[in-house]
Chains A and B, each alone.
Chain A
Amino acid sequence: AQSVTQLGSHVSVSEGALVLLRCNYSSSVPPYLFWYVQYPNQGLQLLLKYTTGATLVKGINGFEAEFKKSETSFHLTKPSAHMSDAAEYFCAVSSYNQGGKLIFGQGTELSVKP
């Protein structure tokens, strides 16, 4: 079975500060890992993904994440927060044998203070 835990349902940062959203996963097979962002009244938009290869992945809008197998983590970072980053962020896990099924964490709401 697979699962995802996102530490912190709400994270608040100041504009220009580092953004760090934490995600830990559990998977008995090599995982595919994703970060999605959701703005109010919208669907989910893919920020970045890890499937195979390089463990540091870069995504859209300046976000990046590092896959650490030994720590079963896939934390999302951005060096400098912007007001437009305020949204809800979801970490998700899947694998080669799961087809289109994604298992999501509970989400982290990011607030950015001016």
Chain B
Amino acid sequence: KAGVTQTPRYLIKTRGQQVTLSCSPISGHRSVSWYQQTPGQGLQFLFEYFSETQRNKGNFPGRFSGRQFSNSRSEMNVSTLELGDSALYLCASRPDSSYNEQFFGPGTRLTVL
């Protein structure tokens, strides 16, 4: 079974721009979560989507948003990019029956100049 895939793997943007990241979960997984990883703040939960509905949200500003499609693929959008948004963005999926065990993708490395 194919793992979680994320595109693109690397991205360079400038301040003020917006960016969209994509995540395809493992086949059959309906839950997709997003995390931000930075050297200073570590791994922080952004939000979780399940069956196209946002089910949980972390403590991030409204510039960070997401959505999920009927095939469970998810996108994350960051508007008005700031230098501090430079990070590795990780997507994870999990099966309905799991005890919150997440399967992570390789991440998208976003650099904001």
Which residues of A pack against B, CB within 8 Å? 32, 34, 36, 41-46, 49, 51-52, 90, 92, 94-96, 98-107
Contacts and interface: CB of A to CB of B under 8 A. Distances in A.
Contact of B104 (A41, A43, A101, A106): A43
B6 to A, nearest CB: 8
Contacts of B35: 102
A107 B101 CA distance: 18
B9 to A, nearest CB: 9
Interface in B65-101: 90, 92, 94, 99-101
Contact of A100 (B43, B56, B90, B107): B56
Contact of A99 (B43, B56, B101, B103): B56
B57 to A, nearest CB: 9
Given A42-B106, A43-B4, A43-B107, A102 B100 contact: yes
Interface of B: 4, 31-33, 35, 42-45, 48, 50, 55-56, 58, 90, 92, 94, 99-107
A66 B42 CA distance: 24
A51 B48 contact: no
A42 B6 CA distance: 11
Given A99-B50, A100-B33, A107-B42, A46 B55 contact: no
A30 B5 CA distance: 32
B100 A104 contact: no
A100 B92 contact: yes
A27 to B, nearest CB: 12
B106 A34 contact: no
Contacts of B56: 98-101
Contacts of A45: 104
Given A32-B99, A51-B99, A90 B106 contact: no
Pick the most buried of A43, A95, A101: most chain B CB atoms within 10 A of its CB.
Answer: A43
11 contacts: A32-B99, A36-B104, A43-B105, A49-B99, A52-B99, A100-B94, A102-B100, A103-B45, A105-B42, A106-B42, A107-B43
Contacts of A102: 33, 35, 43, 45, 100, 102
